[in-house]
Amino acid sequence: MVDDIHQAEHDPSSEPEAIEEILEEGDINDLDFDDVVEAAAATVESAEGETHPSNEGVEAAVVSDLERQVVGLKAQLEDRANQSMRIAADFENYRKRTSKEKEDLTTQIKGDTVIELLPVVDNFERARSQIKPQTEAEMTIHKSYQSVYKQLVETLKRLGVAAMRAEGQEFDPLLHEAVMREPTADHPEGVVIEEFVRGYQLGERVLRHAMVKVAAPPEDADVDNEVTE
């Protein structure tokens, strides 16, 4: 009889019937109460753990669909993140480019304006070098326009304009314009020995080249070279 109970434990579909058969076949007084309880517990456990294939298929489909949605959302999130990074990089490049263009435009306008003012500076400097005041009245006039000249020069300095000091420097075609060459033994060849018109720069930009006289080899040295040849 105990074997029948164990057989019922392994066959869930027949467990209720097995218990009933046990009760019907034997005398209730001959049954082991513990065996009956064990068989009943096994029947309940089997009933609770019974699965339905149809429900399992539905659950699997739902899980699979959710997994596909998660994968899709992750891909969308990554794509949005990449788009945001590209937009941020493009904006930064645009900001730098427009800032550089604005700076270049400001320098261009500033330089063009200063170029128009350079002849005025030249006239003040010619007046200072050529006019020699003799009387007190002339000295008063001289000081008045020189104060205007000083103010103009200080304004140009604040704008970043710098005057070239070409005399005594090596001739540089990027900064100087040679209008004369003078054979001389007093200066090395290629050195600026006189400045006719002062040059000016605005930062790295040359506003006006300095017009200069450049030292050349002495003429007697040229003659000696011809004789030697």
Domain boundaries, the chain: 2-50, 162-228
- Local confidence band at 95 (pLDDT 50, 70, 90 cut-offs): very high
Rg of the chain on CA atoms, in Å? 53
Across the chain, where does the E strand assignment appear?
A: 161-163, 176-183, 192-197, 200-202, 205-208, 210-216
Let me know how long the chain is: 229
CATH 2.30.22.10 assigned to domain 162-228? The reply is: yes
pLDDT of residue 101: 92
Mean pLDDT lowest for which of 139-153, 162-176, 194-208? 139-153
Averaged pLDDT, 182-199: 91
**Exposure string for 68-79, b = 16+ CB within 10 A, e = fewer:** eeeeeeeeeeee
Give which of 191, 200, 190, 196 is closest to 211, Cα–Cα: 196
Residues 61 and 31: beta-carbon distance below 8 Å: no
pLDDT of residue 12: 44
Give which of 84, 105, 12 is closest to 51, Cα–Cα: 12
Averaged pLDDT, 135-154: 86
- Local confidence band at 206 (pLDDT 50, 70, 90 cut-offs): very high
Averaged pLDDT, 168-193: 92
Mean pLDDT lowest for which of 11-15, 43-47, 100-104, 170-174? 11-15
- pTM for this prediction: 0.55
Q: Cα(28)–Cα(195) distance, rounded to whole angstroms?
A: 137
28 phi/psi in degrees, rounded to 5: -60, -25
pLDDT of residue 218: 87
